[in-house]
Amino acid sequence: MPEPAHLAHPRGVDVAEHRARVLAGLTPLGAEEVAVADALGRVLAADVVAELAVPPFDSSAMDGFAVRSVDLAALAEPAPLAEHAGSADEGFVALPVAATVAAGDTAPVLPPGSAIRIMTGAQVPAGADLVVPFEWTTDTDPVRILRTAAPGRHIRRGGEDVAAGEVAIAAGTRVGPAQLGLLASVGVDRVAVRRRPRLAVISTGAELVTGAVPDSNTATLLAAGRAAGAEVAAFGPVVDEPAAFADRLAVAAGAADLVVTTGGVSAGDRDVVKAALREAPGFWFGGVAMKPGRPQGFGSLDVDGRRVPVITLPGTPIAAYASFLLYAVPAIAALAGTPREPRTAELGVDVAGSDRTVLLPATYDDAGRIVPLPGHAGHSQRLLAAAEALLVVPPTDRLVAAGTVVEVLALRPEEDLHAR
Ligand code: AMP
Ligand code: MG
C-alpha cells in the first residue's frame, strides 16, 4: 500500500516543487487591440511598425540661415573660431535673405544664391543643405556669412531617429511613458497587447460570511493581483459547505483565467475546499515545507475547453499573502507572457535556518540589504504591514550568513509596476 502523503513527506514538498507544479503547462493568453491611450502598463503582443518617420521632416537644429553650401565655396572650412569671426581681414559671402521660416511654417524653396532666415525646429527649405548659425554671421539682409561647414550641418534629418516602415518598438515590451511618446510620434493609435489574466479570488469561511472575522484576504489578494497585472474580481466569501463552494467555484472559473481560493485546505472537519476538490481529477492537496503556509493545493478545471488553474491557499492572512506571492504572482506573469526571475537581495544579518522555507517580514537597510523586522510573531498582520518585503529563508540546517543572496517577495509591487 502506498504511504499516505503526510508520512511520505513529513515536512512537506519543497516550495520550488510546488511552484513548478503550479506553473507547469501555463501558456500566455492571446492578444487584444487597445487604443494607445489605454496601453500604459500593457505588454506589446506584436512589433510596432512606424507609420510616420521621427523626426517627420528635415528641420533646423539652430537659429540661423539655411543656405546652399555651394554658395559658400569661397569660405574656408574648417572656418576660423568665433573670436576671429567678423574681424576686418576675414573673407565673407553676402547673400540676400529670401524669407523667414519658423517651426510650423511650410518652408518655401530656397532660390540659388540666397539665404532663408530659419528658426530652430523649422522645416529646412528645399534646396538648402546647410544651416549657418547666427554666430557665424553679421548684418541681417544681405546677411554676411563668415564661415562654412560640411553639407548637412545643423540639420536634423527626417527619419534619422526612426524611419517610416521600421520596427519602432519590439513585441514583448511593456508600455511606459517613453513608449507612449514614441507610439504618438510614429503615428500609431491602436496597438496589439497581451490579454490581462482575469483573476478570481474566492475566500472561504463561515466566520467571514457572518462578519465575525473581516475578510482581509480578499482585500489583500485583489490588490496584489492587480499589482501583478491581472484584472481581478472577488467571488467570496463563501460558507464552509462543499456544494456551495463548488457552485461558486464553477461561476468564478467561468469568468476567470486563474482562480485563487483561501482557507479550507488543512485537516479540519470543515475544510471545505479540500472536501469539495479532493476527489476531482488532477487535484493535489498536501503540505509544502514552508512557514507560514504549509497546507496548499492545486489543480485545474476544464471550462468549455479552457484549462483554468485553481490555486488553493491556506486561510491565515500572512500565509495566504505569502503563498499568493510565491505561487499566484508567477502564474499571473506566465499567463500574461511576462515571466520573470524571482527577485533577490543580499542578507544584511545572519538568520537561523530550519528544515523548511521560512518567510519573514523584512525591510532594507541603508546598503540595500534585506533584514528581518524584529519581533516576528508568526501571524502578525501589523508586522507584515510594516514590512517592505518577505525574506525567503531557504531550508537549511545551518545558519544563513549575512551576505548570502536570498529570494525576496516585494510587498509594495505597485511601486515597480512598470519596471517589469
Ligand atoms: P482556514 O485555513 O480556513 O482554517 O483559516 C485559518 C484562519 O484564517 C482562521 O482563523 C480563519 O478565520 C482565518 N481566515 C481564513 N480566511 C480568512 C480571510 N479571508 N480573511 C481573514 N481571515 C481569514
Ligand atoms: Mg476556514
Q: Is the CB of 219 under 6 A from ligand 1?
A: no
Q: Is the CB of 209 under 6 A from ligand 1?
A: no
408 and 400 Cβ atoms separated by less than 8 Å:
no
Each domain of the chain, given as residue ranges in start order, spans 5-30+195-336, 34-51+168-194, 59-156, 344-417
Give the pLDDT score at 419.
35
Cα of 278 vs centre of ligand 1, distance in Å, is: 20
Q: Is the CB of 314 under 6 A from ligand 1?
A: yes
Give the pLDDT score at 415.
52
Give the pLDDT score at 62.
97
Give the pLDDT score at 358.
95
Give the pLDDT score at 269.
75
For the segment 89-101, the average pLDDT, to the nearest whole number, is 90
Helix axes 15-23, 329-336, angle to 10 degrees: 30
Please, what's the b/e burial string for 254-268 (b: 16 or more CB within 10 A of its CB; e: otherwise)?
eebbbbbbbbbbbee
Q: Is the CB of 240 under 6 A from ligand 1?
A: no
Give the pLDDT score at 363.
95
Cα of 72 vs centre of ligand 2, distance in Å, is: 87
User: Which ligand 1 atom lies nearest to the CA of residue 265?
Assistant: 2
CA distance 63 to 153: 13
pLDDT tens readout for residues 152-173: 999 999 999 999 999 999 999 9
399 and 350 Cβ atoms separated by less than 8 Å:
yes
Quickly state the pLDDT bin for 11 (edges 50, 70, 90): confident
pLDDT of 188 > 60? The answer is yes
pLDDT of 204 > 50? The answer is yes
Give the pLDDT score at 88.
45
For the segment 193-205, the average pLDDT, to the nearest whole number, is 97
273 and 301 Cβ atoms separated by less than 8 Å:
no
Give the pLDDT score at 3.
47
Cα of 314 vs centre of ligand 2, distance in Å, is: 8
Q: Is the CB of 264 under 6 A from ligand 1?
A: yes
CATH number for 5-30+195-336: choose from 3.40.980.10, 3.40.50.2300, 3.40.50.720, 3.90.45.10. Answer: 3.40.980.10
| Strand (E) or helix (H) holding 276 | helix 272-277
Among protein residues, the one with the nearest Cα to ligand 1's atom 15 is: 315
CA-to-CA separations, 212 to 69, 205, 317, 348, in angstroms, rounded? 85, 10, 15, 40
Give the pLDDT score at 418.
37
First CA to last CA across the chain, in angstroms? Answer: 48
For the segment 187-213, the average pLDDT, to the nearest whole number, is 97
Among protein residues, the one with the nearest Cα to ligand 1's atom 16 is: 315
Q: What is the CATH number of domain 34-51+168-194?
A: 3.90.105.10
User: Which ligand 1 atom lies nearest to the CA of residue 272?
Assistant: 3
pLDDT tens readout for residues 300-345: 999 999 999 999 999 999 999 999 999 999 999 999 988 888 999 9
Q: Is the CB of 262 under 6 A from ligand 1?
A: yes
For the segment 344-352, the average pLDDT, to the nearest whole number, is 96
59-156 topology per CATH: Molybdopterin biosynthesis moeA protein; domain 3 (2.170.190)
Among protein residues, the one with the nearest Cα to ligand 1's atom 7 is: 316
For the segment 165-185, the average pLDDT, to the nearest whole number, is 96
Give the pLDDT score at 90.
64
- Higher-confidence position of 83 and 254: 254
CA distance 26 to 30: 13
pLDDT of 180 > 80? The answer is yes
pLDDT tens readout for residues 33-70: 999 999 998 999 999 999 999 999 999 999 999 999 99
Among protein residues, the one with the nearest Cα to ligand 1's atom 5 is: 315
Cα of 46 vs centre of ligand 1, distance in Å, is: 43
Cα of 205 vs centre of ligand 1, distance in Å, is: 7
Mean pLDDT value across the chain:
92
344-417 topology per CATH: Beta-clip (2.40.340)
For the segment 276-303, the average pLDDT, to the nearest whole number, is 96
Cα of 281 vs centre of ligand 2, distance in Å, is: 23
User: Which ligand 1 atom lies nearest to the CA of residue 268?
Assistant: 4
Give the pLDDT score at 25.
86
Cα of 247 vs centre of ligand 1, distance in Å, is: 20
Query: Range with the lowest mean pLDDT among 85-94, 112-121, 143-152, 188-197?
Result: 85-94
pLDDT of 420 > 70? The answer is no
